[in-house]
């Protein structure tokens, strides 16, 4: 083999290696497990309530054409604890990342201290606050004792039942026209701005909020009276 031919072959191999590395860097791929877990944790906390401790184990992640970030997330509306949780991250047409995860949640919630009747106004003696593992149930906001005391039961409950948002009628903590503080989180960055509520709602509800200057509306989840978190779930 002549030196000239050897040089051309070595040069060709070098070009191919550089091209392969460039394509690998540009190719869509699945984010690392840590980033996925944290994104799912944040989405679950947004559903269940601030203060929940969430443990996530990613069981699968499929990405036919992923090249986005992890800021826009949609949890299956029918998601339940005690079963695999399916989450979709969105980054425009044709760019989706589907994740399956096992999720365990420890949170503050309340159980009925004894049998409760529909129409009954709940007092402190009617409920037992606990902080414990949330058993298999729909993945929704879990009201605390402060939210349900004074509320009216809209269905019969047995002693020990977890009191869910749909079991009681509570007054809205935000009403149409109220000024609200809207919080948005992008990675480790958190920003806040003043908006106007376009809907009424209780803690955990999704409502529309309007920027008073631009009149642009966004969806946000109520996290407490006067405060909402801009929500990317679609």
Q: Which residues contact 203 (CB under 8 A, 6 or more apart)?
A: 49, 141, 143, 147, 173, 222, 223, 224
What average pLDDT does this structure show over 46-56? 89
Mean pLDDT of the chain: 80
> Considering only CA atoms, which of 32, 76, 25 is closest in space to residue 233?
76
Residues of the chain with pLDDT > 90: what percent?
44
What average pLDDT does this structure show over 208-228? 90
Angle at 140 between CA 145 and CA 110, to 5 degrees: 20
Question: 106-169 is classed in which CATH architecture?
Answer: Alpha-Beta Complex (3.90)
Distance CA 140, CA 73 (A): 16
* Stated pTM of the model: 0.66
Q: Which fold has domain 179-230?
A: SH3 type barrels. (2.30.30)
List where CATH 3.90.1210.10 sits in the chain.
106-169
Pairing of strands 189-197, 179-186: antiparallel
């Amino acid at each position: 083999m002549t030196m000239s031919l050897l040089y051309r072959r070595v040069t060709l191999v070098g070009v191919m290696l550089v091209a392969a590395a460039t394509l690998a860097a540009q190719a869509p791929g699945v984010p690392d497990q840590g980033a996925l877990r944290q994104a799912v944790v944040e989405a679950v906390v947004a559903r269940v309530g601030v203060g929940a401790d969430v443990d996530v184990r990613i069981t699968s992640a499929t990405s036919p054409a992923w090249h986005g970030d992890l800021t826009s997330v949609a949890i299956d509306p029918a998601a339940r604890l005690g079963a695999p949780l399916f989450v979709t991250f969105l980054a425009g047409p044709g760019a989706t990342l589907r994740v399956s995860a096992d999720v365990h949640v420890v949170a503050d919630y309340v159980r009925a201290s004894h049998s409760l009747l529909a129409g009954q106004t709940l007092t402190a003696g009617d409920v037992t606050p606990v902080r414990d593992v949330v058993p298999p149930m729909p993945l929704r906001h879990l009201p605390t004792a402060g939210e349900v005391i004074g509320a009216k039961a809209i269905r019969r409950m047995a002693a020990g039942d977890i009191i869910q948002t749909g079991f009681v009628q509570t007054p809205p903590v935000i009403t149409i026209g109220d000024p609200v503080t809207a919080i948005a989180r992008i990675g480790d960055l958190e920003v806040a701005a003043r908006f106007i509520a376009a809907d009424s709602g209780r803690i955990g509800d999704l409502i529309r909020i309007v920027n008073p200057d631009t009149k642009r509306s966004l969806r946000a989840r109520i996290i407490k009276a006067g405060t909402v978190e801009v929500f990317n779930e679609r």
